[in-house]
Amino acid sequence: MLSSTPYYRVDTSDTPRDPNAWSDEAFTVSWVGHATVLINFYGTTILTDPVLLKRLAPPYLGGQRNLGIRRITECPYEFQDLPPIDLVLLSHAHHDHWDTASLKFFNESTDAIIPRETMDLIPKGHFGNVTELDWGQSQSVGELTVRAFKVQHWGYRGGKPKGARGYNGYVLSKRGTKIVFFGDSAYHDRSSMRRPVNWVERVGAGPYDLCILPIGDYVYRHNHMSPEEAWSIYKQLGGKKFLAIHWRTFILSPVPIQEPIERLWKVAQEEVKDIICSTPGEAVRVK
């Protein structure tokens, strides 16, 4: 297991590590690992792309979790220690974001928002209301509004033709506060790596109180952005806090384990204090 601690950390002394102790009158987050983020958004508890076990176990391994890709940092929370989850957000159906075994922890007290043409992948009896969103569509969950937007990725998984399944980023809005969650994305248009994407037009004008952006596995340029590109999007969107995902959890590429965050800290320069939750389980009260 990887045990080294990043050299830059935000002061979190005023935020309880136990998510059950977070205030419902505040906006608090914790990075669980990979693209899994736990959010208490003024009383609405959200979990993104839940991957909660020690190994990924795609169905083609026959459910044998001892054969899957092993985490290099432990999951900071046991499922039974989490607060009740109101909403699960799933960005796309790739196994490192859509872990069926983790989804089976949930029951009908939890709702889910998922991309188009992925309803068949939801374990039966494990969620309440499940809503498919295509790009530009929105769904309200109490005071919370969730809007899907197009990222530069893909969503293939067996059972549907290539190109059928969606792949989303999400904008979450509540009480005048906004979060953007990218899941997985390249920086440029995948059809032409030289063609820029107008991310303000794609996502919507900022400012955003929290930008959750991927920074790892950028050797695969058609599907993943670099730390510098993620920082560029953060600045374009008028971000106030940056939470980096898709690094330091699974070895999915030749990128060295600590390189993504070190490059992000370097490009951020004097704004490095904008970057929060660089250690799994670290909790930060955003507002």
Which residues are within 8 A (CB) of 249 and not within 5 positions of it... i.e. 6 or more apart? 33, 34, 51, 71, 72, 73, 280
pTM here is 0.94
d(CA 32, CA 243): 11
| CA 206 centroid distance within chain | 19
CATH number at residue 26: 3.60.15.10
β-strands 44-48, 87-89 pairing: parallel
Q: Which two tokens stand for residue 237?
A: 């969107």
Which residues are within 8 A (CB) of 152 and not within 5 positions of it... i.e. 6 or more apart? 185, 186, 187, 188, 189, 190, 197, 223
pLDDT in tens, 112-157: 999 999 999 999 999 999 999 999 999 999 999 999 999 999 898 8
Point out the residues of the chain with pLDDT beneath 50: 1-5
Q: What is the pLDDT of residue 273?
A: 94
Q: Which two tokens stand for residue 223?
A: 């599907």
Q: Which of 32, 47, 166, 51 is nearest to 109 (CA)?
A: 47
| Residue at 32 is within a domain | yes
pLDDT in tens, 243-270: 999 999 999 999 999 999 999 999 999 9
| Residue at 120 is within a domain | yes
| Residue at 131 is within a domain | yes
- Other CB atoms closer than 10 Å to residue 195's CB: what's the count? 9
| Residue at 9 is within a domain | no
d(CA 45, CA 88): 9
| Residue at 5 is within a domain | no
Q: Which two tokens stand for residue 202?
A: 């794609």
Domain count, the chain: 1
| Residue at 3 is within a domain | no
| Residue at 180 is within a domain | yes
User: Which residues form the domain of 85?
Assistant: 19-285
Q: What is the pLDDT of residue 197?
A: 94
| Residue at 7 is within a domain | no
